[in-house]
């Protein structure tokens, strides 16, 4: 299966190539795609050097699949071009997520939304993916009425420039600023850009994407996104109000039995999810599972996952796997 990775030299693109290799995806030919300044450079795939090509050359090569992680602008322009040429596009940007004609997919939850003939499939935002993974079995059983979410997001979610800013600050080096403030020894409630209503685009994604993935517009959601100086993954404090009363032990079992989710929750031994635990892993870790004593039918969860892997690269490859296994190309 001829496979293009658009944005192959970026943080997520490199991980996509790594995950394709790790999961033995049936790539017959890899087409690493990047900007013109990177064309001709080499990346290693399955112990062989592969040259980076331009996006136009990738279109002309007619890959079966193109996994995009090059930003919304590139996706808006080029995803339809690939699609019209017969390629299935799995896009990691925000460009197509809320398009009513494009499935927004976390395979463990709503792979059924992909139909034969779909040519653009959207990968949700990283913070959305890990949250809905933990919430899906609870929503099915008890029906979620309202979510109150606070995120603690890794600098890797912003990209290599943000990681460099943090590392420079730790080393006392003046360098390019990816953020409007220092990030080391700091945190700030700012992810994406601010909207007229005072919420940020990252907060809006949590609201809109969760409703679309669960196919339930009735869920009330409010969110605050915070950037923190870590690299291992995103963390989320989530307060859930259910329509039905729940049993705490049953809720714990439902979460732990969901594929791809690990309950790591033993406060007596100081065991709870952390970015250090999640780093370079595909699981979504859930801990601090406890009843909200201030309100009926409410539950608190702490959710942590590597935002570059399950939050981006791995989820995209899982979509490709599902489509290949079900002959949806």
Report pLDDT digits (tens) over 115-166: 999 999 999 999 999 999 999 999 999 999 999 999 999 999 999 999 999 9
Cα angle 157, 92, 136 (rounded to 5 degrees) comes to: 85
Q: Give the DSSP H/E element, type plus range, for residue 16.
A: helix 11-22
pLDDT of residue 76: 98
The catalytic position among 139, 190, 234, 279 is 234
Average pLDDT over residues 293-317: 98
* Model confidence pLDDT, tens digit, residues 247-270: 999 999 999 999 999 999 999 999
Residue 66: give the domain boundaries.
2-123+312-325
Same domain membership, residue 155 and residue 88 = no
H or E segment at 275? helix 275-278
Tell me the pLDDT band of 329, cut-offs 50, 70 and 90.
confident
Is the pTM above the cut of 0.85?
yes
Mean pLDDT of 175-190: 97
- β pairing state of 2-6 and 65-68: parallel
- Residues 113 and 153 occupy one common structural domain: no
The most distant pair of C-alpha atoms in the chain lies apart, rounded to whole Å, by 60
Say yes or no to pLDDT of 64 above 90: yes
Do 294 and 253 belong to one domain? yes
User: Is there a single domain that holds both residue 156 and residue 212?
Assistant: yes
Give residue 327's pLDDT.
Answer: 86
Q: Are residues 255 and 171 in the same domain?
A: yes
In this predicted structure, what is the pLDDT of residue 284?
Answer: 98
CB-based contact 233:275 (threshold 8 Å): yes
CATH number of the domain that residue 81 is part of: 3.40.50.720
- Which pLDDT score is estimated for 197? 97
Same domain assignment for residues 56 and 190: no
Quick one: what percent of the chain has pLDDT higher than 90? 98
Does residue 301 surpass a pLDDT of 90?
yes
Kindly state whether residues 191 and 169 are assigned to the same domain: yes
Q: Given CA atoms 106, 110, 112, 114 in this order, what sign does their dihedral have? A: negative
298 catalytically annotated: no
Verify whether residue 279 is a known catalytic residue: no
Q: Give the residue with greater pLDDT, 328 vs 283.
A: 283
User: Would you call 257 exposed, middle or buried from its count of C-beta atoms within 10 A (0-12, 13-18, 19+)?
Assistant: exposed
List pLDDT tens digits, range 4-54: 999 999 999 999 999 999 999 999 999 999 999 999 999 999 999 999 999
**pLDDT(99) > 90:** yes
Nearest to 121 by CA among 99, 146, 90, 149: 90
Indicate whether 193 and 225 sit together in one domain.
Answer: yes
Q: At 225, which helix (H) or strand (E)?
A: strand 220-227
DSSP, collapsed to helix, strand or coil, labels residue 106 as: coil
Whether the pLDDT of residue 105 is over 90: the answer is yes
| Same-domain pairing of 179 and 281 | yes
Confidence of residue 294 (pLDDT cuts 50, 70, 90): very high
- CATH number of the domain residue 182 falls in: 3.30.360.10
**Average pLDDT taken over every residue of the chain:** 97
Q: How many domains is the chain partitioned into structurally? A: 2
List the catalytic residue out of 126, 181, 187, 279: 126
pLDDT tier, 328 (very low <50, low <70, confident <90, very high otherwise): confident
Shared-domain flag, residues 165 and 263: yes
């Amino acid at each position: 299966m001829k496979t293009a990775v658009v944005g192959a030299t970026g943080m997520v693109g490199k991980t996509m190539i790594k995950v394709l290799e790790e999961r033995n995806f049936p790539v017959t030919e890899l087409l690493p795609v990047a900007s013109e300044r990177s064309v001709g450079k080499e990346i290693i795939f399955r112990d062989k050097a592969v040259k980076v090509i331009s996006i136009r050359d990738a279109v002309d090569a007619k890959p079966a699949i193109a996994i995009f992680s090059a930003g919304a602008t590139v996706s808006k322009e080029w995803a339809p071009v690939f699609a019209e040429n017969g390629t299935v596009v799995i896009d990691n940007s925000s460009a197509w997520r809320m398009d009513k004609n494009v499935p927004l997919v976390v395979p463990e939850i709503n792979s059924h939304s992909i139909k034969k003939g779909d040519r653009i499939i959207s990968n949700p935002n990283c913070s959305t993916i890990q949250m809905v993974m933990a919430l899906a079995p609870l929503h099915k059983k008890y029906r979620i009425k309202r979510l109150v979410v606070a995120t603690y997001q890794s600098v890797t979610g912003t990209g290599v420039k943000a990681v460099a800013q943090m590392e420079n600050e730790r080393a006392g080096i003046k360098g390019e600023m990816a953020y409007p403030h220092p990030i080391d020894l700091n945190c700030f409630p700012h992810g994406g850009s601010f909207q007229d209503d005072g919420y940020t685009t990252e907060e809006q994604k949590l609201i809109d994407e969760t409703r679309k993935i669960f196919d339930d517009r009735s869920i009330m959601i409010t969110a605050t996104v915070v950037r923190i100086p870590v690299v291992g993954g995103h963390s989320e404090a989530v307060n859930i109000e259910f329509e039905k009363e729940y049993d705490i032990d049953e809720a714990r079992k439902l979460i732990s039995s969901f594929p791809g989710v690990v309950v790591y929750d033993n406060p007596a031994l100081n065991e709870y999810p952390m970015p250090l635990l999640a780093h370079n892993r595909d699981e979504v870790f859930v801990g601090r599972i406890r009843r909200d004593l201030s309100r009926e039918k409410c539950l608190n969860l702490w959710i942590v996952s590597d935002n570059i892997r399950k939050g981006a690269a791995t989820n995209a490859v899982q979509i490709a796997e599902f489509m290949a296994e079900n002959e949806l190309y």
